[in-house]
């Protein structure tokens, strides 16, 4: 038996899939324990849904986190968020650092896959930076949150809430504990015009969604005096999407009395920016999303599908993929042969990967949406919003999550899992091993358009 197990060689994508699945199952088992819930213990399906949402840093919940879970259950959830956000291999590397163990070649290959890197060069150094930056950002945000909420909750609870929500928001999870205080599933709606809570939360979400590669690049900017092409694309795309998103939401919701209409002028601006930032895979909200106009809801679906950036705690097809597709479209319109970004030409392998990733993601979202439209008695936009939120590991909902059927919950669990790992990683893990082609077919031409 042992010899046969040794012969099993798992690829890095397969190890990532198995690792995340194992963490989810352990988390689900812990959340079914009576000590984890304030009332009746959770069913295994609801515990599995919650554990998947936490590990995949999504934020979709079938029960209110603050009202349903005890201190033990909340600690399990926030641990799953931290491990899932940074990646279980990053956490394993942290333990190896603490034990002064050497990182093997196999482990470096898995880290390369987990961080979406093109090579292993400097991967361990990057992981050290990831851990240091993440803990520092979470600590600073936790202190600010604690001071702000001490006026509302008292010192002890404010510190606990500060630490908990700093981890949740930086990892783009969107879980919150405000249910017992402001009502179940209320998120940050009671802080819609609170400058400190909004700015710190948005800062955490943006920093978590930029990706650790970009964060490391920014920290080294003073020394290197330059940014990589990847960082330039991520920063410009992120800034443009946030600004455009805020303008669109501000325009559509300005006169809506159920959302921005009831806020003062700076509250409108804060809320518009927050609702533009949070679809980038964060999951928190400061206005009732179900009360948004349908145009705003559909626009948020587009933002959720794009998602965050590679190597981050977020999901979606990623900002770099979206930028590559826009670049390809503009190059075709202009009659150019190459896609050029910041005076750099993109290789054809990058373009093909961007197209493949987008098409696989689109097929997944459409397929699950069609299935759920036959099993869930809700509008198509509501279902599409939920599925895209699950795929982008966003966690925003129009109120469908708690009404899902058992089949619906299982489909959303699968979608969250696929979205966190990435559809291509999942396909590589489940598909047959690629073999090098020994010959090429002659080139043919077809008419396009």
Residue 322: both structure tokens together: 């979206």
Q: Give the domain ranges of the chain.
A: 9-430
Is 123 a residue whose pLDDT tops 80?
no
Q: What distance in Å separates the CA atoms of residue 305 and residue 343, rounded to the nearest whole number?
A: 27
**HSE, side-chain direction, 13 A CA sphere, residue 253:** 35
* Full-model pTM: 0.87
Name beta bridge partners: 230: none
Which residues are paired to 96 by β-bridges?
Answer: none
What is the rounded CA–CA span in Å between residue 266 and residue 120? Answer: 46
**Looking at the predicted structure, is the pLDDT value of residue 424 above 90?**
no
* Residue 164, C-beta contacts closer than 8 angstroms, at least 6 positions apart: 74, 78, 177
Q: Which of 114-128, 159-173, 251-265 has the lowest mean pLDDT?
A: 114-128
Tell me the C-alpha distance between 425 and 219, whole Å: 29
Confidence class for position 122, pLDDT limits 50, 70, 90: low
Burial 49-70, CB ≥16 within 10 A → b, else e: bbbbbbbbbbbbbbbbbbbbbe
Q: Residues 303-331: what's their mean pLDDT?
A: 89
pLDDT at residue 88 above 60? no
Residue 115's H or E segment, with its range, is none
Q: Are 101 and 92 in contact (CB under 8 A)?
A: no
Mean pLDDT (whole number) for 404-414: 95
Please report the pLDDT score of residue 241 as a whole number: 95
């Amino acid at each position: 038996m042992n010899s046969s197990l040794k012969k099993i060689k798992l690829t890095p994508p397969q190890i990532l899939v198995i690792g995340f699945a194992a963490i989810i199952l352990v988390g689900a088992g812990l959340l079914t324990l009576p000590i984890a819930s304030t009332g009746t213990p959770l069913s295994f399906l609801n515990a599995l849904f919650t554990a998947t949402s936490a590990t995949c840093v999504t934020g979709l919940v079938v029960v209110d986190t603050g009202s349903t879970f005890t201190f033990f259950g909340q600690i399990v959830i926030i641990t799953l968020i931290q491990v899932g956000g940074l990646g279980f291999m990053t956490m394993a590397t942290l333990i190896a650092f603490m034990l002064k163990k050497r990182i093997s070649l196999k482990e470096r290959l898995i880290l390369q896959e987990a961080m979406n890197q093109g090579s292993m060069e400097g991967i361990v150094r990057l992981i050290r930076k990831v851990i240091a930056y993440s803990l520092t950002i979470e600590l600073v945000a936790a202190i600010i949150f604690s001071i702000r909420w001490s006026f509302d909750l008292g010192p002890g609870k404010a510190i606990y809430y500060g630490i908990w929500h700093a981890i949740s928001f930086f990892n783009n999870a969107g879980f919150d504990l405000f249910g017992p205080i402001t009502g179940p599933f209320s998120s940050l709606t009671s802080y819609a015009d609170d400058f400190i809570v909004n700015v710190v939360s948005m800062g955490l979400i943006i920093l978590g969604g930029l990706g650790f590669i970009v964060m490391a690049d920014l920290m080294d900017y003073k020394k290197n005096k330059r940014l990589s092409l990847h960082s330039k694309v991520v920063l410009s795309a992120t800034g443009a999407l946030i600004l455009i998103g805020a303008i669109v939401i501000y325009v559509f919701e300005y006169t809506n009395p159920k959302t921005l209409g009831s806020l003062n002028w700076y509250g409108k601006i804060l809320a518009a920016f927050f609702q533009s930032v949070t679809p980038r895979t964060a999951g928190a909200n400061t206005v009732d999303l179900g009360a948004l106009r349908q145009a705003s809801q559909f626009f948020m679906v587009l933002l959720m599908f794009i998602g965050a950036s590679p190597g981050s705690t977020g999901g979606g097809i990623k900002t770099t993929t979206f930028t590559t597709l826009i670049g390809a479209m503009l190059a075709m319109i202009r009659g150019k042969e190459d896609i050029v970004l910041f005076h750099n030409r993109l290789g054809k392998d990058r373009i093909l990967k961007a197209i493949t990733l987008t098409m696989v993601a689109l097929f997944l979202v459409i397929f699950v949406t069609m299935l759920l439209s036959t099993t869930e008695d809700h509008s198509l936009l509501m279902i599409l919003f939920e599925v895209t939120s699950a795929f982008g590991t966003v966690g925003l909902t129009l109120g469908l999550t708690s009404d899902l059927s058992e089949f619906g919950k299982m489909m959303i669990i699968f979608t969250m899992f696929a979205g966190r790992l990435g559809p291509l990683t999942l396909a590589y893990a489940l598909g047959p091993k690629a073999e090098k082609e020994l010959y090429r077919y002659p080139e043919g031409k077809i008419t396009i358009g």
